[in-house]
Amino acid sequence: MVKARKKKRTHVPNNDGPGKPGQANRRPKSMVIRMGAGDVGSSVTQLARDFRAVMEPDTASRLKERRANKLKDYTAMAGPLGISHLFLFSRSKSGNVHLRVALTPRGPTLTFRVERYALCKDIAKAQKHPRSGGKEYLNAPLLVMNNFTSQAGEDAKADPIKKQLESLTTTIFQSIFPPISPQTTPLSSIRRILLLNREPQSDGTYIINLRHYAITTRRTGVSKRVRRFDPSEQRLREKKSGALPNLGKLEDVADYLLDPSAGGYTSASETELDTDAEIEVLETTTQRVLSRREQQRQQQQQKQHQNGEKDKDTTMKESAANGGTNVEKRAVKLVELGPRMRLRMVKVEEGICEGRVMWNEFVTKTDAEEKALEEKWEKKREEKEARRKEQKENIERKKLAKKNAKINASQGDGEAGEDDDEEDEDEWDSDDMEDWDDDLDDDVAQGNANENESENEE
């Protein structure tokens, strides 16, 4: 039997297997959908596309919506595709833009009103050196959440619903990206940051500001003009513009570096990189295999370093000479990619946009109204269960009737087959039996004649 070909060189095996039950460690996947297709407008359509770029790479980037598509169409395909989150953009008749964040398959659903937003193209126009998309979107961004949990005070004790709302919102947003392990996640894979900052409001409204940044790093302690002579910086500059500095009117390179009219710097303080953070990065170097004597010498040096018998700088130089690691300072800078959104939570409901409302900013119900609403939903649940039970019984009855019909049909075919066999036997007895007997007589007669001939010869 011929086996199916499996491409291993150019196709990465999918170990997550969408739709497999019992997978607690699978990566979260999302779908960003604009409800109403052409009715939402070009701005909301572009906002949905920009948000898909934020959710890269575990999202449906080339999803195409139609006006005929309903929410049930997307929820039905969420299970087989392994979709865990749905982001639904819509616009009401009054012009308000809403974002719904739903967990599949049973919810809950958070509804936000997008009070203000800015697209990626608008942010790029406002920047002097905008950053275009590259390898940053090959890995999920780093999620940074600020002020999502309020301090334990009187307000939290007096309003337990507010505390539950904060816990629910924090849990949902923490699960939209795969978790990062400091031991296994490489530092080079973290190239983007999604910042969610909650603004504390005195009136109790829940407002979240969303920002999306790209992470860039540069070496510190080196002037910009000196850094221009670095081969890597020169290649990067040539790719961007391809222009070289004009030194025709200058006699020395120092005039270009120090003369303000030539674009240089006049003091050492002005040569510092404009940044807000500096980190130390361990840059690994090529290591060679050490002999037993060199390993013993290195162990002795480490012991001396721990006992304080040797200077720290000397030990670092020796370890670097023996194939260790070099520490390099780098400045971290964030470049905004977009989009920006100011989200205001207005509603929390069970299920996926169709369950019982658990919290609403604009509607406050009394205990009697909540009790009546609970009885109404309980009645709906009972009716739904009764309909499901009835449908199940109808399906079982139809299956049984179909099975009995097949059995009866097979039995009827069997009786007809027996009659045909009897007719065939009768025809065989009446017609073919005489021919068969005649042939048998001829064979017997020929055999007797052969025996007589043999006896006469003897």
pLDDT at 389 over 60: yes
Query: Quick one: average pLDDT of 322-333?
Result: 67
Q: What is the pLDDT of residue 237?
A: 64
SS3 249: coil
> Any idea which residue has 């095996």 for tokens?
13
In degrees, rounded to 5, the angle at the alpha carbon of residue 164 between the alpha carbons of residues 163 and 169 is 100
When comparing pLDDT for 26 and 397, which is higher?
A: 397
State how far the alpha carbon of 27 is from the alpha carbons of 176, 187, 338, 414, 416, in Å: 9, 19, 24, 56, 60
Please state, for a pLDDT cut of 70, what percent of the chain lies above it.
65
pLDDT at 288 over 50: yes
Q: What is the pLDDT of residue 436?
A: 43
Q: What is the pLDDT of residue 285?
A: 52
pLDDT at 263 over 50: no
**Ramachandran class of 308: left when φ > 0, alpha when ψ lies in -120 to 50, beta otherwise:** left
pLDDT category of residue 203 using cuts at 50, 70 and 90: confident
Query: Quick one: average pLDDT of 26-32?
Result: 91
Lowest-confidence pick of 88-97, 219-228, 403-412: 219-228
Helices (H), 259-366: 292-307, 312-321
Rounded to whole angstroms, the Cα distance separating 418 from 416 reads: 5
When comparing pLDDT for 425 and 26, which is higher?
A: 26
When comparing pLDDT for 11 and 185, which is higher?
A: 185
Which tens digits make up the pLDDT trace of 396-421? Answer: 999 999 989 988 888 776 655 555 54
Write out the DSSP string of 25-74.
SPPP-EEEEETTGGGS-HHHHHHHHHHHHHTTTSB-TT----TT--HHHH
Q: Of all helices (H) and strands (E), which one includes residue 423?
A: helix 367-427
* Residue ranges with strand state E in 224-339: 278-284, 325-336
State how far the alpha carbon of 94 is from the alpha carbons of 40, 98, 115, 347, in Å: 12, 12, 13, 18
> Would you say 151 and 103 are in contact if contact means Cβ atoms under 8 Å apart?
no
Q: Of all helices (H) and strands (E), which one includes residue 341?
A: strand 340-349
Query: Quick one: average pLDDT of 243-253?
Result: 71
> Would you say 59 and 32 are in contact if contact means Cβ atoms under 8 Å apart?
yes
The set of residues, in sequence order, having a beta carbon less than 8 Å from that of 198 and lying 6+ positions away, is 145, 146, 147, 148, 206, 207, 208, 209
pLDDT at 89 over 70: yes
pLDDT at 435 over 60: no
| Residue type at 32 in one-letter notation | V
Residue 221 in tokens: 């302690």
CA 331 from centre of chain? 30
When comparing pLDDT for 162 and 391, which is higher?
A: 391
Q: What is the pLDDT of residue 87?
A: 96
Mean pLDDT, the chain, rounded, equals: 76
Q: What is the pLDDT of residue 430?
A: 43
Residue 206 in tokens: 């829940």
pLDDT at 157 over 50: yes
SS3 334: strand
Residue 348 in tokens: 């929390």
> Would you say 327 and 282 are in contact if contact means Cβ atoms under 8 Å apart?
yes
Rounded to whole angstroms, the Cα distance separating 214 from 201 reads: 29
**Highest mean pLDDT range out of 129-138, 253-262, 333-342?**
333-342
- Residue 272 gets which letter from DSSP? S
State how far the alpha carbon of 321 is from the alpha carbons of 3, 84, 289, in Å: 54, 50, 13
Lowest-confidence pick of 43-52, 106-115, 335-344, 348-357: 348-357
pLDDT at 171 over 90: yes
Domains of the chain: 30-153+161-217+336-355 (3.40.50.10480)
The model's pTM is 0.63
Which tens digits make up the pLDDT trace of 107-144? Answer: 899 999 999 999 999 999 998 888 876 788 999 999 99
> Any idea which residue has 């005649």 for tokens?
438
Q: What is the pLDDT of residue 100?
A: 95
Residue 174 in tokens: 């923490």
Q: Count the helices and strands in the chain (H runs, E runs).
A: 12, 11
Q: What is the pLDDT of residue 399?
A: 92
Rounded to whole angstroms, the Cα distance separating 256 from 215 reads: 30
When comparing pLDDT for 6 and 30, which is higher?
A: 30
> Any idea which residue has 């195409």 for tokens?
64
Please state, for a pLDDT cut of 90, what percent of the chain lies above it.
31
Q: What is the pLDDT of residue 419?
A: 53
